[in-house]
Chains A and B, each alone.
Chain A
Amino acid sequence: MSITKTDALFLSVGGFEAGAKVGGGFFRAMFRKVFGAAADNVPPNVVDNIVEVASDEAVAARGANTLGRVGPGAHAGESIAARSTARDFSAAERAEINRIGSNTGCHTCGTTSPGTKSGNFVPDHQPPSALNPPGGPQRLYPQCLTCSREQGLEIARMLNSGGGW
């Protein structure tokens, strides 16, 4: 099976173009999920090219990454390194995410209101832990509760359509 530019664009329009910001490993993992072992036969430079072309076309097609809810959003500003996929955030990490959120808002929709009773933004792993290659680097961005839930539905649909559950 070969991966065409159209295939890549299909994946990208689904919101994956943000993976370009974190490298081809994210895309390769997506290809592997969709195309199986065939993804491993694609040279790294081809992945890079697909990422670049698909990202540009997808972003141009819809203006910005505002529809897809997976990947750093259109309002992404500062972020902090994630120590792991775990959600054992320290007080300092939560404070930093809240500081970034109060300045630049939810990375997905831009609101500066986190929408939680606690007043805390959701520290959002990007790429999402469910879609990130094992050991792959992740960043934490502030996200509002509404967008976090929407992202959850999108991830569930991705996993479900891939036969994940």
Chain B
Amino acid sequence: MILSIKYTNKIPRILAHLTLYTLGIFCTAQMVQAQSLIPGIAVDKATKQDSATTDQITEKELMNVAYGRQTKQAVTGAISTIGGDAMAKTLTPTLSNTLFGRLPGLTVMSGSGEPGFDEPSMLIRGLGTFNHAGFLVIVDGFEASFDNLSVEEIESVSVLKDAAALALYGTRGANGVLLVTTKRGFDGKTQIRFTARTGFQKPTRLPDFVNSYDYGVLYNEALANDGLPVRYSPSDLENYRSGNDPFLFPDVNWYNEVLGDNAPISDINLTFSGGGETTRYFILLGYMQNQGLYANTDPKRKENSNADFRRVNFRSNIDVAISSKVTASLDFGGRIENRFFPNVNGFGLWENMARYPSNAFPVTNPDGSWGGTSRYPNNPVASVLGRGYTSSHDRNIMTNLRLSEDLGDLIPGLRFSQAIGINNWHRGNYNRTRSLAFYEIGAGDSGSEEPYLYYPRGLDTGFSVQEWGNDQWNRVNIQAALDYEKQLGHHGLTGMLMYHQDVLSVSGNNVPYANQSLMGRFTYNYQSRFFAELGFAYSGSERFPEGHRFGFFPSLSGAWIVSNEEFLKGSSVVNFLKARASAGILGNDRFGGSRFAYTQDFYYSGEYRLGLDNVSNGIINYGQLGNSEISWEKDLKFNVGFEATLYNKLAVVMDLFYNRRSNMPVNTGNIFPGYIGVLPPYENIGKVNNRGFELDLRYTDHIGSFNYFVGASGFFAKNKIIEMGEIAHPESYMYRTGHAIGQHFGWEADGFYSPDDFEANGELKQGVLVSSFAAVKPGDIKYIDQNGDGRIDQNDEIAIGKTWLPEFIYTFNVGAQYKGFDLELLFYGLTNRSINLNGTYFWGLQNDANLSSNALNRWTPENQENATFPRLTTLANENNYRPSTFWMKSGNLLRLRNIELGYAIPEVWAHQIKVDNLRVFVNAVNLLTWDKMDMVDPEAYGGYPPLKSLNLGISVQF
């Protein structure tokens, strides 16, 4: 620990001395490519590449690695990269949504499609932990979100996967890193580029519920099954069928009433880039607008508002050579985000649309008032149109300053760099909301003149305005590094030593989040044939007690460029072949529970009252027991990989990995008895193994002027819990340990109880399995008695199906280009995945819910054999409605994620209209999906659904 404290003070001092020493010493020296910090002024300008040749990378090309760049052949780690132009094929406000199927090793799963809140969930190499599985996102060297950047400012996104690639991230690297790099200027004529895209979004799928008449008939059937009197008389049903009285006998499809046909989305970007010998720049101004699906909303956003997201992006990345030895970069990246939503929105609104039966009440009553009932109080249309809106207004600016100087006069090959990154975010909120009165409609008294009676429910309040704006954070990063590069004959050496600190201050929290690291990377190569690399981080996290804060995380890796060997040099078959391997240890300092799990908190809070006057007496309270030796998760990572280019046409990348996560903090509440009377502490006992592979193939060729490529990739990851502090189970098959994280558990369905299983008095016959969950009736789901004790209970729960997360993800990618026309298709598929259906969409009539069309083929005495739904019931049914193989569906799917057709006008025409390049294109996202789910999107359901879109665009370059 002493060491860690000391270097905090010493390192900057040493660096200061070094800098002072070199001041005033100027010689001309050849500029070396900085290995760290300085983004490196792009050597060749980022010309628009044809989609057919995007991924043709030469060995000498530079790749982004952790805090620096290396030539492609020198990279010893597993890294996948995508360029900004491929991401532009998905028109979305949130950049993570452009990564579906694009980066082998990166799992991306759809979330909600709600504008401004449509981030997918992402994982690198599957799940390696049952604690926090989120990974670091680094934008231009500093931790930051990239979702709300404009796609036009993205140079590339890389996913760092193995120990070699991640070594420098130490205690925060175990879950992988996403490295985002923004565009920079170049030496050449100024390029002005204008792009505009616009399109329409629709839900990929909406659930389907029965109409009023069917609902009435089936509700009566359910009541009869329950032995209760029917609710709807034959004349009621006739009224529903005829639709004569839409007020007393309504038939409302809430989706049709609340939603419009589609939601518009568009973005416009203008960029300037270029520069000269000493100054280079990239400047962007962008605007994005995305609306929601809600119909009839106020376009002025006064009375109510559609879901609405508008964003302005701006960026200015400037590189300056201050002297022949000193370069500086100053980057400003900012954005303004304004989000509006109906006061009632998101999951609750969508749940109501699904849950309210079509006969519940009319949208509006004959007198124009809002309909509703005490049982179904939140009229979904009124929720959107009548209750005002909420809005949030975000401002973000990220400023990075870097300086890099050549210390070649001191020691040839030495370079010193330093950087400071300041990232500021603020959110203000403005809500204008109100409550609404609604009226339950009833038939008027017979003989009265009034055909309807209105029963007032709810309270009409005027609009009230809430405003607040102290939601903000500020992040300050400081980095300093020394780089060294030396070539001695056949031996190439590089070294890098770096200090990093990060302080995140969040408003409302007086203890900033902090972390600190000293990192290094040393490489050696022999004749550019053998490469070896040692990377390490000595990194510390605030979450651990003094003396346990810092850990050392080394990794070793090597590569062999087989194609540089004599026997392959000049081969026409094998143009490039590299084999590489890495091993190392990374950490993960994030897990649930108290931020400072090493200590038990005692705090003065609350009161107990005594005396005849109820005098308040302060009390002292305490939290979970602390563990003074709590530590981070350790991940031992192994990786072997091959990269090859064959016949100059086929590019192959393959990686195999095996990760052993250990020392995982586990909440020991499942281990220690409840009678200790306090939450027991976290202890480092968890273990998870995770293994898999990635394979990426790409074949590029041409037939005359017809260029084309065919790509395919597959990515597999499967984890296994070795130890998780699991509670003891009476049956061995009940253990989660030994299965994958998130393995579905439930009961194994075995058809339905049949009328033959029951005596005449309704009692189960002797020998028929008894369910401990509910008194069963014919048409209820039967389960298999796993432990053979003659009854179905909690102890018959087994692992069923797979996990929600897919084990295997694959993609197909084809593209072609012919005379100005270009076409690209990307399919991606998820396999080895299971979905356990539950809740409002699937469990008809439970909790007064609606009935979806999946219940139509229900069990009835006439439909016993082929039924796909148990008998209907209006009552809670613990037997039928629980996780089981009955409700388990395959989650496999194949999507046409992207399709884009473009046309670039011939150069001759372009020059006539004084542009360098003009391209128009049309593309679609999520156009087609093949899967086993009928009613809802297989990737996400509940709340705002995932979307598909059809878009048009144009890009012009001057």
| A and B interact | no
Hey, which bits of chain A sit against chain B, CB under 8 A? none
